[in-house]
Amino acid sequence: MASEAVMQAFSADGTSILQNNEAPGQSVFHVHFHVIPRFNADSTWRRVRLTEQTRADRLRQRDALARALRG
């Protein structure tokens, strides 16, 4: 469900799922997952840095993802 919501919210062609646990920088060790939108035009790895986006962009993405998760 989360992968489909990310694809819908970001108009992505697919997703990559990353799992981390006890990663460097964690003050409370825990397992967590990243669901990363992927696009056909991507190189092998593409990462959009938050600094490249405006606050309005991030809020639009957040709202689109919330709508997609609610169905």
Chunked into runs of 10 residues, the chain (71 residues) has average pLDDT values of: 91 88 80 86 61 82 92 84
User: H-helix or E-strand containing 15?
Assistant: strand 14-21
Give the pLDDT confidence score for residue 10 in this predicted structure: 87
Cα 37 from Cα 39, distance rounded (Å): 7
Nearest to 17 by CA among 1, 31, 44, 37: 37
Q: What is the pTM (predicted TM-score) of this model?
A: 0.70
Q: Over 25-68, what HEC string results?
A: CCCCCCEEEEEEEECCCCCCCCCCCHHHCCHHHHHHHHHHHHHH
Give the pLDDT confidence score for residue 29 in this predicted structure: 83
Cα-based torsion angle of the residue sequence 10, 13, 15, 16 in order, rounded to the nearest 10 degrees: -130
Give the pLDDT confidence score for residue 31 in this predicted structure: 85
Domain coordinates in residue numbering, the chain: 2-70
